[in-house]
């Protein structure tokens, strides 16, 4: 049972060698792209390449399964035929093309996100229209595909010309012998599936070294299998009764009272102050990738690219120390809509049973408001249409727009000016019908390929991230100026908040600086301008908005009214798919799978993070929030109840 290039199974060794070489080159290129962030010590390099070789081998073990089965059971007569030789040439060409294509794809994915493939890549395989359009508009795809084709042909011709393929085509073996070899080979993927965990690659303190140690193909496989993580199975816990008893104490405020003695019921009545409730219209704009660093309040390092928002902040209720809960649009929308900490794995918006949830929109709808979700792209992306439609909103996405309403569009949707024109139109219609309205708009322009209509800012399209941010800033300014001419303006407040930052790359597990976002609530005739520097989260925006309107309402929110927060209330939540971060003062606690926890002290202005020893109190509070939020979601305790208001 000798396995070598002089055996029918020698083709597997050949493919393995090519796969490892391509993976080595790809890993080296990715390392060079993040050269200044990678730990270049002997241990760091050994980890990236040594553990990387292990995961490359595991990834290949899955890839080889169909080849092993085919090679084992095909007859010698067909195996040695001339037709099969030509089919083999085609097979190797396709295989080499896949290897090279994956390497190039990883380059672009790393350039965009600073990580190996993850849930985003899985989503990209599903939402092909937007993704393919985005890629075509961002990169010279014909040239890239041509180079890949030529390279694959050259590699296939080389191994064929050198008779490497022909050697093992001519070897005659018995079926019994082939079954024995095939069974041995198939043990590897089976053992890998049962015992290998991707968390094995995440043992160092440098996130880039951990990512380099992974394999892109295996990353997609792992992400597909683990889009949801059971909190109690993977993270630090304490008894649920203790968590909810302490959570109820944390969420309790002077102006709220619980409706039940049941520990697991966080439903409470939040009372407004003296005077009547306000019936302000609300236009909420969630801005794609609007990092706090783009604005002057954090000392923009890219020049003056948000002149309108910088000026608007002076006449707004401006929260200068807010953090995004995640790194994807749907996490930001989830936080704003549901006012709850993120859960490990996929956003609630994409999970089953996301209908009829207790949400900000449901409270507005119960008071007679028209709810509209206005999105410039196709809202089926990331399940956004389904989620909002099944939680009280009317859907207005690109498909509902007439051709005459679209002056510019790219793969992700219409430009922000067209989006805001539709927002104004919907507000006019609600006002004409005598109905108060909540319009939630999601922008698209600040997204690769960073194209937008020319002639409005001084950076020609495509202007990269800087141009896209400056154009979005211009479009927001135009929206406000148009709104000022409308009869509904004097009773409308504008909420402007980022969905997430422009990037989440950094040496550490959760780079705090990359989660800072701006949040403004504007209409000086209704909301007195003020700068608020309290440490807060996106989940606090909804309760703050309701507080400004002086509503008395029933709540299941985890967030709090920022303006009524005490110093002890201040905290924020940041996360990615697996890491759950809890910020308190200048300390960050991170909960990770395998019941791990890490602790850091950070500098809010520079982003410098220093690992610290454990803090039992901070760990306990982090567990209380994340464990309870996951339990509420799992047990469907966050559903809207008829008759609530």
Residue 247: φ, ψ to 5°: -65, -45
| Contacts (Cβ under 8 Å, ≥6 apart) of 565 | 534, 536, 540
Please give the average per-residue pLDDT across 578-599, as a whole number: 92
Please give the average per-residue pLDDT across 560-578, as a whole number: 94
Spacing of C-alpha 86 from chain mean position? 44
pLDDT digits (tens, 9 = 90+) for 151-160: 999 988 887 7
Average pLDDT, the chain: 89
What pLDDT is attached to residue 554? 95
Phi-psi region of 289 (alpha: psi -120 to 50; beta: other; left: phi over 0): left
Share of the chain above pLDDT 70, in %: 91
What pLDDT is attached to residue 509? 79
pTM above 0.85, yes or no: no
Beta strands 281-287 and 437-442, pairing class: parallel
Is the model's pLDDT at 2 over the cut of 50? no
Distance from C-alpha of 476 to C-alpha of 493, rounded to nearest angstrom: 14
Please give the average per-residue pLDDT across 596-604, as a whole number: 93
What pLDDT is attached to residue 486? 98
What pLDDT is attached to residue 170? 47
Least confident of 177-186, 309-318, 418-427: 177-186
pLDDT digits (tens, 9 = 90+) for 347-364: 999 888 899 999 999 999
| Contacts (Cβ under 8 Å, ≥6 apart) of 187 | none
What pLDDT is attached to residue 234? 80
Least confident of 336-340, 434-438, 606-610: 606-610
Judge whether 302 and 296 are in contact, CB under 8 Å.
Answer: no
What pLDDT is attached to residue 193? 87
Residue 6 banded pLDDT, cuts 50, 70, 90: very low
Residue 576 banded pLDDT, cuts 50, 70, 90: confident
Residue 173 banded pLDDT, cuts 50, 70, 90: low
Give the residue among 161, 202, 164, 269 at the shortest CA–CA distance from 48. 202
Q: What is the signed CA dihedral for 220, 224, 227, 232, rounded to 10 degrees?
A: -100
What pLDDT is attached to residue 123? 62
SS3 category, 496: strand
Share of the chain above pLDDT 90, in %: 64
SS3 category, 402: coil
Query: Which domains are assigned to the chain?
Result: 10-225 (no CATH), 234-269+281-634 (3.40.720.10)
Work out whether the CA dihedral 284, 287, 290, 294 comes out positive or negative.
negative
State the Rg of the chain over Cα.
27
Tell me the DSSP string of 38-100: S--SHHHHHIIIIIHHHHHHHHHHHHTHHHHHHHHHS-HHHHTSHHHHHHHHHHHHHHHHHHH
What pLDDT is attached to residue 88? 78
Please give the average per-residue pLDDT across 403-421, as a whole number: 95
Judge whether 314 and 529 are in contact, CB under 8 Å.
Answer: yes
Please give the average per-residue pLDDT across 400-422, as a whole number: 95
Give the residue among 370, 494, 488, 372 at the shortest CA–CA distance from 436. 370
Please give the average per-residue pLDDT across 372-390, as a whole number: 94
Residue 395 banded pLDDT, cuts 50, 70, 90: very high
pLDDT digits (tens, 9 = 90+) for 262-287: 999 999 999 999 999 999 999 999 99
Residue 295 banded pLDDT, cuts 50, 70, 90: very high
Least confident of 162-176, 366-380, 384-398: 162-176
What angle separates helix 216-225 from helix 82-113, to the nearest 10 degrees? 80
What pLDDT is attached to residue 5? 42
Residue 179 banded pLDDT, cuts 50, 70, 90: confident
**In 204-218, which positions are buried (b, 16+ CB within 10 angstroms) versus exposed (e)?**
bebbbbbbbbbbbbb
Work out whether the CA dihedral 287, 383, 461, 108 comes out positive or negative.
positive
pLDDT digits (tens, 9 = 90+) for 205-244: 888 898 899 998 888 777 766 566 678 878 999 999 999 9
Least confident of 194-203, 584-593, 625-634: 194-203
pLDDT digits (tens, 9 = 90+) for 516-543: 999 999 999 999 999 999 999 999 999 9
Judge whether 87 and 80 are in contact, CB under 8 Å.
Answer: no
Is the model's pLDDT at 162 over the cut of 60? no
Give the residue among 288, 327, 301, 207 at the shortest CA–CA distance from 605. 301
């Amino acid at each position: 049972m000798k396995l070598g290039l002089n055996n029918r199974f020698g083709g597997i060794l050949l493919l393995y060698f090519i796969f490892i070489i391509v993976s080595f080159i790809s890993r080296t290129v990715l390392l060079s792209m993040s050269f200044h962030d990678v730990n270049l010590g002997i241990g760091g390099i050994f980890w990236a390449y040594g553990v990387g070789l292990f995961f490359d081998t595991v990834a290949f073990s899955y890839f080889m399964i169909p080849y092993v089965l085919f090679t084992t059971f095909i007859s010698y007569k067909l195996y040695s035929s001339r037709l099969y030789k030509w089919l083999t040439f085609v097979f190797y060409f396709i295989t080499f093309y896949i290897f090279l294509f994956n390497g190039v794809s990883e380059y672009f994915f790393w350039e965009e996100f600073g990580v190996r493939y993850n849930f985003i890549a899985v989503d990209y395989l599903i939402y092909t229209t937007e993704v393919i359009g985005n890629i075509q508009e961002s990169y010279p795809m014909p040239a890239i595909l041509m180079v890949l084709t030529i390279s694959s042909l050259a590699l296939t011709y080389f191994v064929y010309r050198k008779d490497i393929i022909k050697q093992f085509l001519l070897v005659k073996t018995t079926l019994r012998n082939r079954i024995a070899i095939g069974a041995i080979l198939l043990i590897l993927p089976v053992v890998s599936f049962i015992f290998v965990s991707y968390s094995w690659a995440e043992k160092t303190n440098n996130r880039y070294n951990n990512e380099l140690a992974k394999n892109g193909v295996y990353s997609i496989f792992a992400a597909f299998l683990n889009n949801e993580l059971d909190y109690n199975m993977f993270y630090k816990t304490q008894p649920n009764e203790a968590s909810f008893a302490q959570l109820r104490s944390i969420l309790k405020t002077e102006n709220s009272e619980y409706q039940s003695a049941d520990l697991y019921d966080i439903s409470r009545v939040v009372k407004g102050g003296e005077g009547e409730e306000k019936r302000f219209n609300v236009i909420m704009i969630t801005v794609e990738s609007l990092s706090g660093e783009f604005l002057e309040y954090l000392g923009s390092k890219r020049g003056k690219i948000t002149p309108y928002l910088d000026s608007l902040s002076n006449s707004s209720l401006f929260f200068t120390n807010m953090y995004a809960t995640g790194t994807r649009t749907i996490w930001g929308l989830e936080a704003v809509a549901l006012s709850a900490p993120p859960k490990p794995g996929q956003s609630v918006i994409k999970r089953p049973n996301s209908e009829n949830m207790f949400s900000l929109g449901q409270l507005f709808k119960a008071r007679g408001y028209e709810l509209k979700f206005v999105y410039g792209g196709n809202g089926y992306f990331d399940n956004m249409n389904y989620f909002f439609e099944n939680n009280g909103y009317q859907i207005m996405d690109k498909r509902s727009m007439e051709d005459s309403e679209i002056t510019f569009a790219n793969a992700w949707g219409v430009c922000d000016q067209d989006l805001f024109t539709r927002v104004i139109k919907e507000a006019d219609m609600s006002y004409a019908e005598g109905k108060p309205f909540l319009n939630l708009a999601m922008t698209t322009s600040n997204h690769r390929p960073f194209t937008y209509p020319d002639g409005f800012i001084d950076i020609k399209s495509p202007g990269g991230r800087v141009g896209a941010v400056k154009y979005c800033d211009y479009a927001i300014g135009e929206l406000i100026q148009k709104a000022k001419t409308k009869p509904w303006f004097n009773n409308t407040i504008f909420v402007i908040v980022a969905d997430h930052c422009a990037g989440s790359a950094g040496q550490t597990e959760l780079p705090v600086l990359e989660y800072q976002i701006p949040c403004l609530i504007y209409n000086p005739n209704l909301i007195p301008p003020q700068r608020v520097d309290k440490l807060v989260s996106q989940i606090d925006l909804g309760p703050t908005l309701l507080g400004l309107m002086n509503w008395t309402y029933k709540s299941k929110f985890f967030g709090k009214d920022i303006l009524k927060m005490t110093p002890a209330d201040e905290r924020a939540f940041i996360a990615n798919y697996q890491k759950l971060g809890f910020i308190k003062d200048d300390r960050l606690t991170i909960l990770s799978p395998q019941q791990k926890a890490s602790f850091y002290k950070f500098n809010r202005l520079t982003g410098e993070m220093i690992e610290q020893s454990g803090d039992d109190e901070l760990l306990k509070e982090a567990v209380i929030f994340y464990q309870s939020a996951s339990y509420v979601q799992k047990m469907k305790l966050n559903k809207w109840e008829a008759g609530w208001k």
